[in-house]
Amino acid sequence: MASPTLLFTSTFIFTLFTTLLVTASLRLLALFRTRGPRKSGKKGDPLHLLIVLGSGGHTQEMLYFLEDLRTYKYTYRTYVVSSGDAFSAERAKNFEEELERREKEKGWPQYQGNDSVNIETVERENGWPLVSYTGPSKYTICTVPRARKIHQPLLTTPFSALQCLLGCFPTLLGTGNSSSKQPPQDKLSPPPNDIPDAILINGPATAVIFILASYILRFFNIRNSQTRRKMATIYIESFARVSTLSLSGRFLEPFVDRFLVQWPQLAGGRREYRGDLIRGFGGGEHISVI
């Protein structure tokens, strides 16, 4: 017959475990119930967009998708590249320089094509001068450890994935390794050291780790990330996936806020087909979760 002390200890451990399990389950349920299109702050508030770039084709496709990016809405951008991927980092820098060149050439993005708008009147009514939405102070490029190297043995992959996960937290919290840490120069830009409003991904392994990291931060409501409904997630399936989803897509479909596909035969359930998704952040029907 078990002693009273042993029985009490066993009961206490079982009760504690059950309580933690139920609490964690309820917390996860609350996170899942907040998925889907959602708003963050007031209409017109500046938004911080975090973009995870893969290597090669992933980066090319992502930047093409963002070619007509509405910089006056996503006023601060964070680009994430894996360690050793100098190509993606350089492409992100060139992309931002092109956005800046076009802004200088065409004028303020939100007023382009509207000759009836008097910029001086708008500035006076707003109470501050209109400012640029591009330039070095409007974006940063962060580097995180690679989730899995090319030809890396599967046996060691969990360790590199864990290292990548640990590197994701500082980036999401705005304290990570970045190319620049210039403070915002106007009230129209969100602080670069704040949690991003949205995370845009299109399939690389690092993106899967970022989604996991965002869930952990929201689970514990770190820096009020869940209360403020930060880190809304948009997954865009590759244009090359015509009839089946990628491995990353199959894994992430239940967990992201929006899951966008680029072929009608892939639509259904939580998968959304919205026509020509390429460059959807700028032209046509605006695609967003916030």
Which pLDDT tens digit goes with each residue over 221-239? Answer: 999 998 888 999 999 998 8
pLDDT at 36: 52
Distance in angstroms (rounded) separating the CA atoms of residues 281 and 66: 6
Phi and psi (nearest 5°) for 261? -115, 160
pLDDT surpassing 60 at residue 35? no
How far is 260 from 257, CA to CA, in rounded Å?
A: 10
In three-state form (DSSP H/G/I as H, E/B as E, the rest C), the secondary structure along the chain is CCCHHHHHHHHHHHHHHHHHHHHHHHHHHHHHHCCCCCCCCCCCCCCEEEEECCCCHHHHHHHHHCCCCCCCCCCEEEEEEECCCHHHHHHHHHHHHHHHHHHHHHCCHHHCCCCCCCHHHHHHHHCCCCCCCCCHHHEEEEEECCCCCCCCCCCCHHHHHHHHHHHHHHHHCCCCCECCCCCCCCCCCCCCCCCCCEEEECCCHHHHHHHHHHHHHHHCCHHHCCCCCCCEEEEECCCCCCCCCCHHHHHHCCCCCEEEECCHHHCECCEEECCCCCCCCCCCCCCCCC
pLDDT band at residue 67 using 50, 70 and 90 as cut-offs: confident
Does 13 reside within a domain? Answer: no
Q: Which residues contact 56 (CB under 8 A, 6 or more apart)?
A: 87
Q: What is the CATH number of the domain that holds 196?
A: 3.40.50
Please give the pLDDT value at position 91.
96
115 occurs within a structural domain: no
Q: With pLDDT > 70 as the criterion, what percentage of the chain qualifies? A: 64
Cα-based distances in Å from 237 to 74, 152, 252: 21, 25, 10
Whole domain around residue 253: which residue ranges? 38-108+123-273
Query: Is the confidence at residue 287, as pLDDT, over 60?
Result: no
Is residue 288 one of the residues assigned to a domain?
A: no
Give pLDDT, residue 26. Answer: 46
114 within some domain: no
| pLDDT score for 167 | 95
Residue 25 in domain: no
Instruction: Tell me what pLDDT residue 239 has.
Output: 87
Whether residue 212 is predicted with pLDDT greater than 90 in this model: the reply is yes
More confident residue, 281 or 214: 214
Q: Which phi and psi angles does 93 have, rounded to 5°?
A: -65, -45
Q: Where is average pLDDT lowest: 14-18, 150-154, 234-238, 275-279?
A: 14-18
Distance CA 249, CA 235 (A): 8
* The model's pTM: 0.80
Range 102-106, long-range pairs (CB < 8 A, 24+ positions):
103/71, 103/132, 103/133, 103/134
User: Does residue 22 belong to any structural domain of this protein?
Assistant: no
Q: What is the mean pLDDT of residues 246-274?
A: 91
Per-residue pLDDT band for 284 (boundaries 50, 70, 90) equals very low
* Residue 280 resides in a domain: no
CB atoms within 10 A of CB 93: 15
Residue 53 lies in a domain: yes
What is residue 186's predicted lDDT score, i.e. its pLDDT? 55
| Longest Cα–Cα distance in the chain | 89
The total of structural domains in the chain comes to: 1
What pLDDT does 119 receive?
A: 58
- The b/e string for 120-137 (b: 16+ C-beta within 10 A; e otherwise) is eeeeeeeeeebbbbbbeb
Measured between alpha carbons, how far is 53 from 79 in angstroms, rounded to an integer? Answer: 7
Cα–Cα distance for residue pair 38/52, rounded to 1 Å: 21
% the chain with pLDDT above 90: 40
What CA–CA distance (Å, rounded) separates 4 from 285?
68
Q: 234 with 260: CB under 8 angstroms?
A: yes
Segment 91-114, tens digit of pLDDT: 999 999 999 998 877 766 556 555
* Residues 138-197 pLDDT 10s: 999 999 999 888 778 878 888 999 999 999 999 999 886 665 555 554 555 666 678 999
